[in-house]
Structure 1
Amino acid sequence: METILKVFIYRDGARPIFHQPHLRGIYASEGWFMRLMEANRQFVTRDPEKAHLFYLPYSARQLEMALYVPDSHDMKPLSIFLRDYVNMIAAKYPFWNRTHGSDHFLVACHDWGPYTVTEHEELCKNTIKALCNADQSEGIFVGGKDVSLPETTIRTPRKPLRNVGGNRVSQRPILAFFAGNMHGRVRPTLLKYWSDRDVDMKVYGPLPIRVSRKMSYVQHMKSSKYCICPMGHEVNSPRIVEAIYYECVPVIIADNFVLPFSEVLDWSAFSVVVAEKDIPKLKEILLAIPMRRYLKMQINVKMVQKHFLWNPRPVRYDLFHMILHSIWFSRLNQIQIPSS
């Protein structure tokens, strides 16, 4: 990839929806990728005839902020806008029509990312979609073609790696920890079975002030062996990457979620995936993991951490490179080798 891949970025499209990366918050992955891609000299070409991939540089977060009418529950204006943009690209340049969009890609972390493509059939079916909301059950995200985009919470864009690191295992007295808002189908079930039920299982809704005064959210993650990462409204959760940042073994509870970089990373080596129906048995499942295996998983969390970091300037094997590799890998898999 490093010696071959060339990407053409369409200059078309007005800010803020295009070319204006949103670098803060839980949807920052799409903005960081855009920022680093547009500044890149290694992979970007200005000659579209030399390009292997074509990037549609829009932000689903900015699209939502610009076009969504609050409380309307109507995402159609967003998908119509994107449909019209793609039709303009297809009419202005020859590149879309050569492959019907299958060598084009988009990167969208907002929960609504999948739903912004539904008004354009080729965009929905052919284009490589790098989505945080990588839910195989809805029929929009296609496993093996589309790319699961890690969701990263960036609180300080000038210091994206702030607080990365964690306590040694001997300083992790908490078996499992979760705190967060109660939305979606999984979290209320988690709270029902584990809130105030067990001293080893620190499970809360939003972290109570009486608790956070003594130990912050980040300190809880750094002091826990396992960090519970249940889905919210959608299958993705920024807690998965947070857990990796704080060297806590992620416990992922989200049926139908396609884990990022599965083509190169063995998630079973550094995380635990628990079926939604098994939430009542959560402690039993974690205690059944031998200490030797837990220690190996925790070491592996530290080893894979470099693959989930946003560096202000990209470094080999970091998150920018991993996402781009997944997109490139997907495109290579789509290209049919002609039979001799």
Structure 2
Amino acid sequence: VCAVSRSTNFYYTHLNTRTHTRLLYFTEHDTCSPILLLPPEHNTCPPILLQVLPYMSTIPLFSQVCMNQCSGHGECRQGFCMCDPGWYGHDCAQRKKGAHASPGDVLKARPWLKHVLQPVPAALPPSERPFRNRPFIYVYDLPPEFNAHMMQYRVDKHLCTSRVFEASNVSRFVNYAYSLETHFHELMLTSEHRTLDPNEADYFYVPVHVSCLADVIGKADKPIFPDDVPGVGMWHFRVYHMSMMMREAWKWISTNLPYWDRKKGTDHIWLMTHDEGACYAPVEIWNSVLITHWGRLDMPHGSNSSYPADDYSRERQHPSLPHGWLADSSQAHPCHDPNRHLVVPVFKPPEHYRQSIYLGGPQLPRDIFLFFRGDIGLNRPGCKYSRCTRQKLWDVLYKKKDMWLREKHVNIVFGGGQEAPGDYSNLLSRSKFCLVLTGDGWSARYEDSTSHGCIPVIIMDNTLGPFESQIDYSKFAIRIGEHHLGSIVDTLLAIPPEAVAGMQANLADAWMRFKWSSHQLVQDHVSKIMESNQIQRRADLTGPGIKWAPTGENDAFSTVMQWLFHKLEAQV
């Protein structure tokens, strides 16, 4: 069977192993060329497709996404960088002696890359490097099956990435829930903290695209971890295979390189962006720096996901795990250790908060007292989803919203898109308090509320939010216990106006900590939004918090680096 996927601009024959997959892909020069991972004599793709290919030149084609677009020194092949002669590394940033040094030729041929192709300070000649800041972080060049091949396996170009190229090769961000996985990887590669010398590294970043595996597993025999089982249909146990993927990466590092043993992995950084974070991380990497969106603290613990494929409480067996998978993952540790690990915000593109006062949006009256829009989970069985907080608040808030308006004179907007219609950024900008509720795991409502100056009302027991171990949440947020939902409106009404004003002022100073604004494309989009807001308002943009937007100073990435540096100082 030869399948065609226009969403990802590649074609593949159904042979279902990494070494037996054939790709026909469009290059960035708008030509179609076969990239065969089998010898040509074994190419069994039907002749009908080969007859169609010459006529494809009339179809608009887009550039493909790779990490930092191969640093301008390679060809992006659906997420995998084929480096130019003399260049190497998974982002083609490292140069052999005598290789051409400038990506300028690439920008002349493909000017649209200037928004996404960033310089790699670590790869510059010493005389051209900016001042170097610790911590120094070495980014592993893992085998591509742990990252780049994941990009090639995806069946929708909007998965497994934070950005795509659209018509006329315009770059735009996508609303992929786990997009920090590639965004963070790209930030690490282009950061001034990166070092190409592992011997001077303070930390080692392990770029495993484990959340991407969740979106590609089960559709063919590969990818699968461990690789001694068939992959078709295995999406039913995808969190198990995600855990085993990280275990395989640990095996590769600890077997092939000497740096793991230097500090028994405590100086290694792993990112797990999926719903329940590191709850099912393999025990071998538990002492590392695990970065997630989910700061759940209780132990013992079980999965809160209502999606069976993500239920990490189900046992799995494998010869390499004599005591079973659970004993070496979720039963061996909690989901988060605030002394070792870090909870970070999710990535939300600037368009998501385009009407925010922090981007120069109009200062709207906050006529919505309490706001939440999202899946309420009324049709989900049991009480796993959202720990039943959304379902209970449906009765407390939505069903009684007329009573709250009549008796307490407060406007409450709560529900899904039908119950809470309108532009999301506009609604958030008009809200005084915004609920932060768990779903199948982490909540993106921290980022929604803080980026719009809406005071977060967190209902999530025994669970830390982004940077909550580093930032004093009491200055700009409110926590309410899961067993006090019935009195939530009265609790919020009892907060003095001056306290509300103080929290709003503190939000203006803290909001950038929840944004991943270091990337050049983010800054470009922020600038365009602020220009548009300025034109619409016909006035200079002033207001609390707006000073952070143009520079991205003290954003989430900077906060991660500050925390890592503090850990170094604490070890001295």
Question: Normalised by the size of structure 1, how large is the TM-score?
Answer: 0.86
1:221 corresponds to which residue? 428
Give the letter aligned to residue 299 of structure 1: A
Aligned length: 324
* Residues 1:253 and 2:471 are matched in the alignment: no
In structure 2, do the counterparts of structure 1 residues 315 and 224 end up closer, same or farther at CA, with 3 Å as the change threshold?
closer
* Residues 1:292 and 2:498 are matched in the alignment: yes
Give 1:138-157 correspondences, 5 Å limit: 138=301, 139-154=334-349
Structure 1 residue 117 displacement after superposition: 2.1
1:171 corresponds to which residue? 365
Secondary structure of 2:463 counterpart: coil
Structure 1 residue 3 displacement after superposition: 3.0
- C-alpha distance in structure 2 between counterparts of 1:115 and 1:192, whole Å: 31
- C-alpha distance in structure 2 between counterparts of 1:45 and 1:10, whole Å: 11
User: Cα RMSD between the aligned structures?
Assistant: 2.6
Deviates more, 1:194-203 or 1:49-58: 194-203
Give the letter aligned to residue 426 of structure 2: Q
- C-alpha distance in structure 2 between counterparts of 1:239 and 1:179, whole Å: 9
1:59 corresponds to which residue? 209
* Residues 1:134 and 2:295 are matched in the alignment: yes
Give the letter aligned to residue 176 of structure 1: L
Q: Deviations over 1:220-278 (max 9, x none)?
A: 211111111111122x2111111111111111111111122234421110111111111
In structure 2, do the counterparts of structure 1 residues 254 and 64 end up closer, same or farther at CA, with 3 Å as the change threshold?
same
2:414 corresponds to which residue? 204
Secondary structure of 1:75 counterpart: helix
- C-alpha distance in structure 2 between counterparts of 1:117 and 1:196, whole Å: 40
Structure 1 residue 11 displacement after superposition: 0.8
C-alpha contact (below 8 Å) 2:134/2:565 kept by paired residues: no
Give 1:90-169 correspondences, 5 Å limit: 90-115=254-279, 117-118=281-282, 121-124=283-286, 126-137=287-298, 138=301, 139-154=334-349, 162-165=354-357
Give the letter aligned to residue 250 of structure 2: V
2:147 corresponds to which residue? 17
Deviates more, 1:262-271 or 1:47-56: 262-271
In structure 2, do the counterparts of structure 1 residues 177 and 160 end up closer, same or farther at CA, with 3 Å as the change threshold?
closer
C-alpha contact (below 8 Å) 2:202/2:267 kept by paired residues: yes
C-alpha contact (below 8 Å) 1:129/1:146 kept by paired residues: yes
Which of 303, 316, 321 matches 2:553?
Answer: 316
1:237 corresponds to which residue? 443
Secondary structure of 2:243 counterpart: helix
Give the letter aligned to residue 393 of structure 2: L
- C-alpha distance in structure 2 between counterparts of 1:274 and 1:308, whole Å: 21
- C-alpha distance in structure 2 between counterparts of 1:326 and 1:10, whole Å: 21
C-alpha contact (below 8 Å) 2:271/2:292 kept by paired residues: yes
Structure 1 residue 170 displacement after superposition: 6.7
- C-alpha distance in structure 2 between counterparts of 1:250 and 1:112, whole Å: 21
Q: Deviations over 1:154-182 (max 9, x none)?
A: 3x7xx576444367777011111111102
5+ residue gaps, structure 1: none
Which of 488, 510, 523 matches 1:282?
Answer: 488
Give the letter aligned to residue 248 of structure 2: D
5+ residue gaps, structure 2: 1-130, 152-159, 163-173, 219-232, 302-333, 378-384, 521-550
Q: Deviations over 1:10-56 (max 9, x none)?
A: 0113167359662133322333211111122x100000000000001
Secondary structure of 2:142 counterpart: coil
Secondary structure of 2:357 counterpart: coil
Structure 1 residue 129 displacement after superposition: 0.4
- C-alpha distance in structure 2 between counterparts of 1:202 and 1:233, whole Å: 24
- C-alpha distance in structure 2 between counterparts of 1:71 and 1:63, whole Å: 9
In structure 2, do the counterparts of structure 1 residues 285 and 110 end up closer, same or farther at CA, with 3 Å as the change threshold?
same
C-alpha contact (below 8 Å) 1:191/1:203 kept by paired residues: no
Deviates more, 1:103-112 or 1:220-229: 103-112
C-alpha contact (below 8 Å) 2:390/2:437 kept by paired residues: yes
C-alpha contact (below 8 Å) 1:245/1:305 kept by paired residues: yes
Give the structure with higher Rg (CA).
2
Runs of 4+ in 1 over 6 A off after TM superposition: 166-170
Which of 252, 265, 272 matches 1:88?
Answer: 252
Deviates more, 1:128-137 or 1:105-114: 105-114
Q: Deviations over 1:96-152 (max 9, x none)?
A: 01211100011222114314522xx2302x111011011112413112211011123
